[in-house]
Amino acid sequence: MGIDLEASMRLFLERIDFKGLWKIMGTSIKYAISKFIRGRVNSVEDEVVVESPIVLFVNRKRLRVLYATPGELTELAIGHLITEGFIKSLEEVTGLYVKNNEVHVDASAVVEERMKLYNAKTIDIIKTMCGQSSERLIESLSARRVQSSIQWALSEIFKLVRKLNSDALLYRRTGGTHVALIADTKGVEILCEDVGRHNAVDKVIGAYILRESAYFDHTLLVCSGRLSSEIVLKVARVGIPILVSISAPTSLGVSLATQLGVTLIGFVRGFRCNVYTYPERLTFT
């Protein structure tokens, strides 16, 4: 008989006082460790990024548990609900508050109808290592291509990737986060970090919506994680035309980017990159 992992995780969550831990946690914790280098052992202090269950409620119903780094939880909740298709705009959110490791969102009735449409479970644990995207989401997006005549110079994209690397302060301290950055043609640049690559993308999209209240057709998103189908779907959902990463794409990521009109750029290294789809949005200078 196999192990019921979801039931085991629920028992684990019930037994651990995460609310109590929350009061002493920041985005990282220092541990006393033994470090081995070339046959020698030293007692040192090591900084480790925090991963904590963040419980997302919509209209007092527990929707999902996101395993994320504390901080920017309002941005995470808004970004996640929008990139997963539960809300279409901020006008559908009537209230939001954060309490310890819980985010409570009040939303209009149409949001609950969408939750039923997507067969949202009472508890849907989303792991940081692999996202979940429904076939219905893919189908609904397939007829909605990203429409944008924007053009970005590759030289500017290389600068943004350098900024992604230099400004990821939590990563520089812990080596344990993914990073996402949104930039637009007006000069706005927003960077977010999280232990999960999906969460980092959700946070930065939520941050842009909350701070700029603008459309995404003049933006691009740079991230540190691989360009999988879930990440492509998230940016296509909000209409971001260009998606960039220092990592590799997957086959389904490339296929969906082609289908949904997203320019996909991977393996950015220094002044080199691979452009997989829609190079006409780039000027090679």
Tokens linked to 146: 């990203």
Rounded CA separation 63/140 (Å) = 21
Give the pLDDT mean for 198-225.
94
CB 177 within 8 A of CB 195: yes
CB 243 within 8 A of CB 263: yes
Class for the domain spanning 152-283: alpha beta
pLDDT value at 155 more than 70 = yes
Beta strands 28-37 and 125-126: pairing type?
A: unpaired
Give the pLDDT mean for 142-159.
88
Kindly give the interhelix angle for 251-260 and 135-142, rounded to the nearest 10 degrees.
40
pLDDT band at residue 285 under the 50/70/90 scheme: confident
Quick count: other Cβ atoms within 10 Å of Cβ 145? 13
pLDDT band at residue 120 under the 50/70/90 scheme: very low
pLDDT at 6: 54
pLDDT at 164: 97
User: Helix or strand or coil: residue 96?
Assistant: strand
| Neighbour-count burial for 73-91, b at 16+ CB within 10 Å, e otherwise | bbbbbbbbbbbbbbbeeee
Give the pLDDT mean for 141-155.
83
**Marked catalytic residue, from 130, 192, 223, 273:** 130
Rounded CA separation 112/61 (Å) = 10
Tokens linked to 97: 């508050």
Rounded CA separation 205/216 (Å) = 9
Q: What is the pLDDT of residues 58-84, one digit of tens each?
A: 999 999 999 999 999 999 999 999 999
Give the pLDDT mean for 38-63.
94
Give the pLDDT mean for 165-188.
96
pLDDT at 11: 55
**Angle (CA) 26 29 34, round 5°:** 175
> Which residue matches tokens 């090591």?
46
Give the pLDDT mean for 147-164.
96
Q: What is the pLDDT of residues 261-272, one digit of tens each?
A: 999 999 999 999
Residue 95 makes CB contacts below 8 A (sequence gap 6+) with: 104, 105, 106
The answer to whether 130 is a known catalytic residue is yes
pLDDT at 113: 86
Which of 102-111, 116-125, 141-150 shows the lowest mean pLDDT across its residues?
116-125
Enumerate the domain spans of the chain.
152-283
pLDDT value at 18 more than 60 = no
Beta strands 125-126 and 61-68: pairing type?
A: parallel
Percent residues over pLDDT 70 in the chain: 82
Q: How far is CA 81 from the centre of its chain?
A: 11
Closest among 94, 89, 124 to 109, alpha carbons compared: 94
Q: Which residue has the higher pLDDT, 260 or 124?
A: 260
| Phi, psi (rounded to 5 degrees) for 21 | -65, -35
What average pLDDT is seen over the chain? 86
pLDDT value at 222 more than 90 = yes
Residue 168 makes CB contacts below 8 A (sequence gap 6+) with: 177, 179, 191, 193, 224
Give the pLDDT mean for 167-176.
96
**Which amino acid appears at position 94 of this protein?**
T
